[in-house]
């Protein structure tokens, strides 16, 4: 433990032969859970006094690689590893195996910040999703998963650190795409999220990297004049109507960006005359493929004027 921002460290628990995971209670700084292996057993420990004393729980033969606390109810804690995933609903007094439908060693666990009961687990066989707090699991994609993170400001965005790079899903695991630009090693071993700022990735054989989320994920009001851009409806079960005001002749660009700030559709890119213009977005990317429902940003740029609006699409 460090109490001076990482300048120095003190050992607070030398119980494990090999430690695999640690997680802090989001509401009580004195409560911490740790996991690892002791005597060949998959073991989890809890302290309620900042590490002065610990309570131990032997779950099974094996190794605890991952821990997660349910922020809706901190009595619920998930422990994953070899041989599977276990859950307690009474702060460790009793543990039940919760691995139905789940295969492989659990390397990572992430609890959804908005949808109660939704939990993700990462194994060598993929990302598994549970919608019933771990009672059952479904493989939703990827392989060789070592780490998981969920974007707090865009909770439909799930990130997986895998043996082949960082994969992202913007629709709760429905589809996945790679985001490996800038990585010198695609063997990603850990992920950390700073909501609204960036995604941090630790790699094997290279270094630590950060993917900075562009400011386009936030609405940017025009600083010179109001009413430059309107987007409706939102939520949008069908086409999105976009109207924009060109104050003086200029090259105009209207771009659709996803929750990570990536351009997915260019709706306008040409010089436009003064006046009100309109365009419609059909929910597809430039290639014509339908995009998953979720939060998107309509970005408008004309000369030195810029504005953007969020839109929620439904399918």
Which of 1-15, 166-180, 188-202 is predicted least confidently?
Answer: 1-15
At 28, the pLDDT band (50, 70, 90 cuts) reads confident
At 217, the pLDDT band (50, 70, 90 cuts) reads very low
Q: Is 272 left (phi over 0), alpha (psi -120 to 50) or beta?
A: beta
Q: Where are the domains of the chain?
A: 18-213, 216-313
CATH architecture designation of domain 216-313: Sandwich (2.60)
At 222, the pLDDT band (50, 70, 90 cuts) reads very low
Q: What is the pLDDT averaged over residues 192-197? A: 75
Fold of 18-213: Methylamine Dehydrogenase; Chain H (2.130.10)
Q: What is residue 1's predicted lDDT score, i.e. its pLDDT?
A: 79
Residue 245: its H or E element: strand 240-246
Q: How far apart are CA 35 and CA 53, in angstroms?
A: 15
CA distances from 74 to 56, 67, 135, 194, 243 (A): 18, 12, 18, 21, 46
Is the predicted pLDDT of residue 227 greater than 60, yes or no?
A: no
Q: What is the pLDDT averaged over residues 96-100? A: 95
Domain 18-213 matches domain 216-313 at the CATH topology level: no
For the chain, what percent of residues have pLDDT higher than 70?
93
Q: What is residue 214's predicted lDDT score, i.e. its pLDDT?
A: 59
How do beta strands 108-111 and 55-61 pair?
A: unpaired
Is the predicted pLDDT of residue 221 greater than 60, yes or no?
A: no
**Reduced to 3 states, what is the DSSP secondary structure of residue 17?**
coil
Compute the mean pLDDT over every residue in the chain, rounded to the nearest whole number.
Answer: 88
Q: What is residue 155's predicted lDDT score, i.e. its pLDDT?
A: 62
Backbone angles phi, psi at 247, to 5 degrees: -70, -30
Q: How far apart are CA 172 and CA 112, in angstroms?
A: 9
| The pTM of the whole model exceeds 0.75 | no
**Reduced to 3 states, what is the DSSP secondary structure of residue 215?**
helix
DSSP for 260-308 reads TS-EEEEEEEEEE-SEEEEEEE-SB-TTSPBPPSEEEEEEEEETTEEEE
């Amino acid at each position: 433990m460090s109490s001076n921002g990482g300048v120095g460290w003190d050992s607070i628990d030398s119980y494990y032969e090999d430690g695999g995971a640690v997680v802090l209670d989001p509401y009580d700084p004195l409560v911490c859970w740790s996991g690892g292996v002791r005597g060949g057993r998959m073991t989890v420990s809890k302290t309620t006094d900042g590490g002065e004393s610990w309570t131990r729980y032997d779950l099974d033969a094996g190794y605890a690689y991952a821990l997660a606390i349910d922020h809706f109810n901190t009595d619920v804690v998930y422990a994953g590893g070899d041989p599977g995933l276990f859950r307690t609903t009474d702060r460790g007094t009793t543990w039940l195996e919760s691995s139905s439908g789940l295969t492989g060693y659990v390397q990572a666990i992430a609890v959804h910040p908005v949808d109660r009961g939704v939990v993700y687990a990462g194994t060598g066989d993929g990302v598994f999703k549970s919608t019933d707090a771990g009672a059952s699991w479904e493989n939703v994609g990827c392989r060789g998963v070592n780490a998981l993170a969920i974007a707090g400001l865009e909770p439909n965005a799930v990130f997986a650190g895998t043996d082949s790079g960082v994969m992202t899903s913007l629709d709760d695991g429905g589809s996945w795409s790679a985001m490996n630009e800038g990585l010198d090693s695609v063997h990603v071993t850990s992920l950390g999220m700073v909501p609204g700022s960036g995604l941090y990735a630790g790699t094997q054989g290279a270094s630590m990297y950060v993917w900075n989320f562009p400011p386009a994920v936030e609405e940017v009001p025009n600083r010179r004049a109001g009413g430059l851009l309107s987007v409706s409806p939102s939520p949008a079960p069908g086409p999105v109507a976009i109207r924009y005001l060109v104050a003086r002749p200029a090259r105009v660009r209207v771009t659709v960006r996803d929750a990570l700030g990536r351009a997915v559709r260019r709706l306008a890119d040409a010089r436009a005359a003064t006046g009100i213009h309109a365009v419609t977005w059909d929910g597809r990317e430039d290639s014509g493929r339908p995009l998953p429902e979720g939060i998107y940003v309509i970005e408008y740029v004309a000369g030195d004027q810029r504005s953007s609006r969020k839109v929620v699409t439904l399918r």
